[in-house]
Amino acid sequence: MFLENIKKTIQNYHMIEKGDKIIVGVSGGADSIALLAVLCALQKEYDINIEAVHIHHGLRGEEADRDALFVKQICKEWCVPCHVLEFDIAKEAREKGIGLEEMGRICRYNTFYDIAGKNGKIAVAHHQNDQAETVLFNLCRGTGLTGLCGMTPVRGNIIRPFLFVSRKEIEYFLSKKNICYCQDSTNEQNHYTRNKIRLSVLPFLENEINDKAIKHIASAASILSEEETFLEELAEKALHKMIVSKQQKKIALDINLLLSENVVMRRRIFRKAFCLIDDSLQDLSYIHIQQIEQLLHKQTGKRLSLPLKRSVLIEYNNILFSLEDEVKSTKFCYKLLPEKAIYIKEIGKFVELSFNAYKKQEKRLTIYTRVFDYDKIKGDISCRTRQQGDSIAIGNGHQKKLKDFLIDAKIARQKRDKLLLFAVGKQILWIPGYRISSDFTANETTKNKLWISVWEGEKNERTY
């Protein structure tokens, strides 16, 4: 019956396919030895290649040596290739400033991944009791729906065939098969939070509340996991509909579309937006998600700084999620001469003044070209970023401060200092993509026309 239940889990969650390479994490304890025994029993049926991996953490002295030797011997007896690796977990934990449990977990899984390779699968022996323990641990620590789902049967190339059987069932299976296993004395110590839940909380719930408490908690986690998957799919679809722009380290979403969603869905969308640029939600808590929600209702230019160099910014009708880089100056100023192309390294573009632009235009892909009345230009033309005191003629003899023009044009604040401008002194001739000064435009009476061109290119590119 036990074996049939495991096979049902494997089939329901498509954990194993014929010919798979399965790496089994084997500590020597009851759970992992039972898992190794079950997979060996199914080896011929599934035509799988099994390898055991044992990690010696360097923490328990002779007891740890005993466990490593036991795993080697039983693997030899069962004809299973065995990898035994030793780490100084205490030292590595001190160096990285993290706890022993977390450091041990990192070393174990890094080793599993290395040995499994790209196509191998990693089988771990988490069972129903571990699931209940995980759910309670997350609940007490503070979590949302995701944490209440506990562990999933399959996560990437990690499989958990025992997730729906109890510790008692595992021990009964081993007893019936006369299979020995090791006892880890640290599992009986109340030094670790998880041990306290395992040794005190879960037994109390079973003995004093409901004898099926563990099974019910694990069952609830399974139900919540299905609902979580459904909600995540909805959030994914909603997110992609509201993406305005996406770059490597930033993504802009339409605020109006966001506000049309329920707040529950918005919270998921916020997290998914960061995942698209960061692949991680580390240190991003519910409090931060609430702060993003509040930011949605604030005016343009408002910014929220979050852990690990994350930031959120309101940009008119959009909300921008980004990873902040070191601030680098993008200011530049180049004096231009006719018929001489100049490469602007700060923006990766060429600019050129020319009296015969049409002849050259055929030989390159020009992003922008505009024509001006050269006789109206009194002074040197420069290509630069904005400066204090800049203004632009907007027609009918009216001048407008450049700052006011950029605000009215709804150009985001962080873009304003990077804008490419052509100017004579403090007078702006042209803002490519936005505006030409009315004071310098060419018309039918213009005698001397000057073309200004801007195009993409590399510094060593040939110019014509």
Is 55:107 a contact under the CB 8 Å cutoff? yes
For residue 457, the model assigns a pLDDT of 65
Is 350:344 a contact under the CB 8 Å cutoff? yes
Section 243-263 average pLDDT? 93
For residue 365, the model assigns a pLDDT of 55
Is 453:369 a contact under the CB 8 Å cutoff? yes
For residue 259, the model assigns a pLDDT of 96
Which position has the higher pLDDT, 408 or 14?
Answer: 14
Nearest in space to 80 (alpha carbons), one of 125, 127, 23, 15: 23
Question: Could you tell me the domains of the chain?
Answer: 2-225 (3.40.50.620), 242-323 (3.30.465.60), 333-456 (no CATH)
**Per-residue pLDDT band at 113 (split at 50, 70, 90):** very high
Section 44-52 average pLDDT? 95
Burial of 398 per CB tally in 10 Å (0-12, 13-18, 19+): exposed
Q: At what angle do helices 263-278 and 213-241 cross, to 10 degrees?
A: 80
Q: Which of 222-231, 273-282, 287-296, 421-430 has the lowest mean pLDDT?
A: 273-282
Section 172-195 average pLDDT? 85
Section 150-158 average pLDDT? 94
Section 354-359 average pLDDT? 68
The vertex-272 CA angle with 271 and 277, nearest 5°, equals 100
> What does the alpha-carbon distance between residue 56 and residue 445 come to, in Å, rounded to a whole number?
88
For residue 464, the model assigns a pLDDT of 45
For residue 327, the model assigns a pLDDT of 45
Residue 413 pLDDT exceeds 70? yes
For residue 8, the model assigns a pLDDT of 95
Q: Which helix (H) or strand (E) holds 383?
A: strand 382-384
Q: String of b and e for 197-220 (b: at least 16 CB within 10 Å)?
A: bbeebbeebbeeeeeebbbebbeb
What are the backbone angles phi and psi of residue 440, rounded to the nearest 5°? Answer: -125, 10
Residue 287 pLDDT exceeds 90? no
Residue 209 pLDDT exceeds 80? yes
Q: What is the mean pLDDT of the chain?
A: 89
Residue 81 pLDDT exceeds 50? yes
What are the backbone angles phi and psi of residue 251, rounded to the nearest 5°? Answer: -145, 135
Residue 58 pLDDT exceeds 60? yes
Residue 435 amino acid letter? R
> What does the alpha-carbon distance between residue 404 and residue 198 come to, in Å, rounded to a whole number?
65
- Write down the H helix ranges in 117-180: 128-141, 145-148, 167-177
What are the backbone angles phi and psi of residue 223, rounded to the nearest 5°? Answer: -65, -45
Q: Which of 215-229, 333-347, 378-392 has the lowest mean pLDDT?
A: 333-347
Is 364:455 a contact under the CB 8 Å cutoff? yes
325: three-class secondary structure by DSSP: coil
> What does the alpha-carbon distance between residue 370 and residue 350 come to, in Å, rounded to a whole number?
14
Nearest in space to 68 (alpha carbons), one of 78, 79, 77, 57: 57
Section 158-183 average pLDDT? 95
For residue 329, the model assigns a pLDDT of 58
> What does the alpha-carbon distance between residue 54 and residue 39 come to, in Å, rounded to a whole number?
16
Residue 65 pLDDT exceeds 60? yes
Residue 309 pLDDT exceeds 90? no
Section 86-112 average pLDDT? 87
Which CA distances in Å does 78 have to 3, 66, 250? Answer: 18, 18, 52
Which CA distances in Å does 342 have to 346, 351, 355, 382, 464? Answer: 12, 5, 16, 11, 12
For residue 368, the model assigns a pLDDT of 80
Which position has the higher pLDDT, 327 or 347?
Answer: 347
Nearest in space to 155 (alpha carbons), one of 191, 185, 112: 112
> What does the alpha-carbon distance between residue 464 and residue 462 come to, in Å, rounded to a whole number?
7
Q: Which of 248-257, 311-320, 327-336 has the lowest mean pLDDT?
A: 327-336
Which CA distances in Å does 44 have to 25, 140, 462? Answer: 20, 43, 65
Section 189-213 average pLDDT? 89
> What does the alpha-carbon distance between residue 177 and residue 305 come to, in Å, rounded to a whole number?
58
**Per-residue pLDDT band at 408 (split at 50, 70, 90):** confident
Spatial neighbors of 288 by CB under 8 A, at least 6 apart, are: 306, 307
Which position has the higher pLDDT, 31 or 285?
Answer: 31
Nearest in space to 213 (alpha carbons), one of 128, 272, 282: 128
What whole-number percentage of the chain has pLDDT above 90? 61
For residue 305, the model assigns a pLDDT of 87
Which position has the higher pLDDT, 355 or 222?
Answer: 222
**Per-residue pLDDT band at 92 (split at 50, 70, 90):** confident
Residue 362 pLDDT exceeds 80? no
Q: Provide the token pair at 2.
A: 């036990």
